[in-house]
Every structure is written in C-alpha cells, then in structure tokens.
Chains A and B, each alone.
Chain A
C-alpha cells in the first residue's frame, strides 16, 4: 500500500455505532442518483452526540449543516468503530463526505468488511489510542507504505497496524475488482 492520505483530522471517541454515523431516517436516499447521494455526505456522522463530535472540544459537525462535503479527510476514533447495524451506507457516507480513511484502535467487523469490500475508505488500525495525540482540525498524513500516521501540526508520528489479510482487496479497490483480477467473476 503506497497510498498517502493527507488532510484535516476529525476526532471521535469509542463505540461510534452506525446509527451515529448515518441515522436510520436518512437511509432512504438513492446511493446512485447524483442529486440524492449527496445527502449521505451531508448527514455523515450527524448522529454523534454534540459534545462528542470533534474532540477534544466537541460541538464540531463533521459536515457543516448546509454543506454536502466535509472539510475533514481522516477520521480518528477509539475502539469498536462502526458497531451496530450492517448498513453499508455508513462507510459510503464517509466517502461521499470526502474522507478517505479512518484510523481507530479497533472496528466492528461488519463495518470493517463493508469499508474494504466496497472500497469506500481504508480502515487503518492504530496501536495507540490517538485521541490524546490528535485534535480535530490538526493536519495529519497517513503513509500507507511505512504504515505510520504523522500529526503534522505537532510533529509526532504514530505506528499503524499492517492491513493484513484484506490488503489485496484494499489494493484492488474492493471485492469486485479483486475477484475480477483473480478470474473469479
């Protein structure tokens, strides 16, 4: 994985469930229609309680209420990110909002699978809880080859876990491209 992802960080806590990532009332929009799909970007992470949205300060929306895209490129989270419902709309909404990666200490398995198989975002895992080291708005950079994340604002660097089993699917860009590459479909 030689991909570099650079941009502003958006920080949330532990156990961010998919109802917080995209509340169920918004699951009605088409994922294909260019006009409708934008709403997934608008409402991405809109279910996170206000005080926990954009840590450490809180009160920061991932996507501004009147916008369809987020100014944040990388989401930083604690454990069990994406728990709950299997709705693929969750990683999809993060992608539509314009973010490219999540760095969490751990994921719920369906979210992780959806992120990888759909090729929406790259779900990196960090060894350390980065909540104490990265603040919302900090400029950060992920180096996918060295498996590190650097907080450019503070100059500190943190290791990421290797993507492991799923790296071939991530590199191919999702399960369909992977399967086509291997002559399965």
Chain B
C-alpha cells in the first residue's frame, strides 16, 4: 500500500520498509534544535538522567540557537544564555550561535534554513512548537518538550506516533494581494485550532508550489495553530536550490507515493482567496479584511519566525514606502542576516531599512522580541490595552505581554497598510495596480 510523504520519512527514520498512520515507532533523530528558554531545562534533564560527565549522542546533530530573551536586563533570562554557552563549550558543540558574537543569528526557525539544517527527507525535533516551519523543506519537523529533548540528547532517538495527513490543495495562481499568511489563516479558520490535532498537514497545488521557500515556511509555521503535528510540502527544485546553496549535506528527498491514504483533502481556488485576519483572541477567529476594515488600532508589529523574513519586509516596504505610519509600528527582523539584507535590499531606489525608518517605524534587534511577550523590558511588548495588528502567529490572551491587549493577526501587506491608516485596511488600497504599461501606479 502506498504511503504519504510523512509516513515515508518516519519509515526511513525507524528503519522500516513501511509504517501506518496510528502506530507508534522509535525514530533516529537527524537534528535536535533548542534555544534559551527550553535549552537550560533540557540540559538539566540530560545531566540528571545521563550523569554530569555524559556526552551528547552526536555533537554534529545538536543545534543551539538562543533567540527568545536576548535584549533584556532580566537576570534570569541572561543566566539562561550563560547556561547554553557553558554547555556548548563543555560539549564542544560546533552549532552554537552565541549572543554578542558574530555568530549570533536570532529566531531559530529562520536561522535553521539559513544555516542549512532544514533537509528534505530528514527528521528534526526542536524544543519549540514552531519547529514545524521546517516541514516546508519536505522534512519531518515537530516541537517537543524538555524531557523528550533531554532523552534525544542522550540517545538520539524518540518515540513518535505516525500521523494521518490532511491535504490542503490551492489550485491556480495566488492573486498579487494575497500572501501565504492569508492562506494559512483561512485554513486555520476553516478547521479550528484543534482541527489538525495529531495530524500532518500537507500543502500542495500549483498555488503553493509557485511560492518561494519563505512563503512555504509561513504555511508550515502555523500548522501548530491548527493543532497539527507537522506541516509538510513535497520538495522540488526550489527546495533543492535553496538547501544546496547552504549545505553540502547529502540529503535524500522523499515524496508521496501515488494515491496514499489521506485523512482528508480540502481544495481551494486561489483566485477566490481574500486578505484575512484572525481576530482576538484565537488564531482561528477568522474574518476577511473586508469584514473588519476600519477597526481602530494603536499599534502594528512586523516580525517573528512567521512574519519577520526578508520577503515579509519586502512586502511591507512596498506598501509603506512614501508614507508615514499612523500608529506605533515595530519592525523586528527575524535574524541578523535578515537585518543586514534590509540594509542592502532596495525597493524603488531605497533600502528597505530606510523605508521603514523614514516612515517612522521603531527598528528592533533580531530576536523573538514581543511575539511572545517576554520580560517586561522586551522591545515592542504590549504593556496595557493596546490594539495591535501583527504578522506573528498567535493572539492568545496575554500572548504578546498584556492580558488587556487585543491582537489581530494578518499578512505583512495588511499589517503595513493598516500601520499607515491606524485602522484595519485592505492592502489592495495601497498596492500598485498591475497594468500593461506601468506597475507603479497607486490606487487609492
């Protein structure tokens, strides 16, 4: 019987010729990733269980990327980075990206692809729920807790229940005002925050396959907001090109067999998609921008693993250029590479960085920053009754720092247009109209 892509990766990783959805298998882990919030307790568990002198199972397979609480004076948060540093030195780990050095990266889920750790056909576990982002590369990637991570550090193995796959197909070209974030907000709104629980969520169709890797990452990033175990997209030349430029690792891509058994298949016509938001306080609280347009805002936020990549800022800059922001707007590049690219990437003769600065936005350091609130001195953190529109992935009560705040999730296009007007705004009002002789005409 034929298998899904996820089943095939798990079969390979467990040394089996086939696995079936629902069964529990022990897999060999290709990469374990951790960061400053969950790394220290993971290290504590590893030492408690395997001894103070224990060595990690394979130092080339351990990646430690501090990114959550970096630019803060919180003494406990700073201590957590010290613990990572000491462990990396003690274990002689080659893939540690220390704070305050040239190696510092920022948000792990964007740094992982940049550094070539997202490899088709492999198994990645990470102590962060958005580890599923790497499924965009045809990798099995999912989030785990500290205990499971401590277990992997010592053994290189973990048990996993083989998930069924829900398939989401986007037929036809995606309209120019629609971004990957609109697709995934639509899906989560349709299936609910637990609609994908225990399942893989696969994205397919020419609408998806025409996306670059960053768009695909946005899709896979938010499967956890639908309860999904992993997101997955079949690898293709776009994937291979991206990965080969960043690593010489010899990966083996895997694909769906012909006609595997899916839990369900859902089809969307790309041309019918609308710019979407998730209203407070849940990622599945969907509305079209048209339905909520005019809603008053006090803040806009562009950043995070799902909305702080170069292409997210290119999109936002395209809309913001030549305007002033009407509300406090925070711009947080996911990684130091993205930050550097903001200064070397031009739109209409100006760098993206300057476009945001001239529009009056506050520019932050590469990190997770206010996406998850964090210590009280975190850049962009909600402190009170803010009403924020954000390119991030979660709007749970209190998620961005204040229980009194309200957060709307939206695409970089929609967030940028809304930042200008101070109310939820349809990006089509600011995007160039595509005509035959010019693409710079602005429709108002």
Known contacts A80-B194, A87-B145, A28 near B80 by CB under 8 Å? yes
Known contacts A47-B403, A109-B229, A25 near B38 by CB under 8 Å? no
Which of B77, B372, B376 has the most CB atoms of chain A within a 10 A radius of its CB? B372
Known contacts A84-B394, A109-B198, A185 near B155 by CB under 8 Å? yes
Interface of A is mostly: loop
Contact segment of A69-77, A112-120, A132-140, A147-155: A112-120
**In the assembled complex, A58 has its CB within 8 A of some CB on chain B:** no
**In the assembled complex, B428 has its CB within 8 A of some CB on chain A:** no
Residues in chain A near residue B74, CB distance under 8 A: 28
Digit string of A13-56 for contact with B (CB within 8 Å is 1, else 0)?
Answer: 00101011001110111111000100000000001110000000
**In the assembled complex, A88 has its CB within 8 A of some CB on chain B:** yes
Residues in chain A near residue B197, CB distance under 8 A: 80, 106-109
**In the assembled complex, A4 has its CB within 8 A of some CB on chain B:** no
Shortest Cβ distance from A108 into chain B, in angstroms? 6
CB-based contact B398/A23 at 8 Å: yes
Digit string of B142-156 for contact with A (CB within 8 Å is 1, else 0)?
Answer: 011111100100110
Known contacts A24-B374, A109-B227, A110-B144, A86 near B193 by CB under 8 Å? no
CB-based contact B41/A88 at 8 Å: yes
CB-based contact A83/B398 at 8 Å: no
CB-based contact B194/A117 at 8 Å: no
CB-based contact A20/B227 at 8 Å: no
**In the assembled complex, B286 has its CB within 8 A of some CB on chain A:** no
Report the interface size class on chain A: 35 or more
CB-based contact A31/B38 at 8 Å: no
Complex partner residue of B227 from A27, A32, A108, A185, CB under 8 angstroms: A108
Residues in chain B near residue A30, CB distance under 8 A: 40, 44, 76
CB-based contact B396/A19 at 8 Å: yes
A47→B399 CA distance, assembly (Å): 9
Complex partner residue of B127 from A86, A175, A179, CB under 8 angstroms: A86
A175→B161 CA distance, assembly (Å): 14
Complex partner residue of A49 from B77, B151, B376, B397, CB under 8 angstroms: B397
Digit string of A115-146 for contact with B (CB within 8 Å is 1, else 0)?
Answer: 00110000000000000000000000000000
Complex partner residue of A117 from B48, B129, B147, B227, CB under 8 angstroms: B147
A29→B37 CA distance, assembly (Å): 10
Known contacts A28-B80, A86-B127, A176-B49, A114 near B40 by CB under 8 Å? no
Shortest Cβ distance from B385 into chain A, in angstroms? 14
A185→B127 CA distance, assembly (Å): 21
A24→B382 CA distance, assembly (Å): 13
Residues in chain A near residue B79, CB distance under 8 A: 28
Residues in chain A near residue B144, CB distance under 8 A: 86, 110, 113-114
CB-based contact A31/B44 at 8 Å: yes
Known contacts A19-B372, A185-B155, A84 near B129 by CB under 8 Å? yes
**In the assembled complex, B418 has its CB within 8 A of some CB on chain A:** no
**In the assembled complex, A61 has its CB within 8 A of some CB on chain B:** no
CB-based contact B194/A47 at 8 Å: no
CB-based contact A83/B37 at 8 Å: no
**In the assembled complex, B24 has its CB within 8 A of some CB on chain A:** yes
Binding site for B on A (CB under 8 A): 15, 17, 19-20, 23-25, 27-32, 36, 47-49, 79-80, 83-89, 106-110, 113-114, 117-118, 165, 174-176, 179, 184-185
User: Can you spell out 30 A-B residue pairs with CB atoms less than 8 angstroms apart?
Assistant: A15-B193, A15-B194, A19-B373, A19-B399, A24-B399, A28-B77, A28-B80, A32-B41, A32-B44, A49-B397, A79-B194, A80-B194, A84-B394, A85-B372, A86-B128, A86-B131, A86-B143, A87-B37, A87-B38, A88-B147, A108-B194, A108-B227, A109-B198, A110-B129, A110-B145, A114-B145, A117-B151, A118-B146, A175-B151, A179-B155
7 A-B pairs with the lowest CB-CB distances in the bound complex, closest first: A88-B145, A28-B76, A114-B145, A86-B143, A80-B194, A118-B147, A86-B129
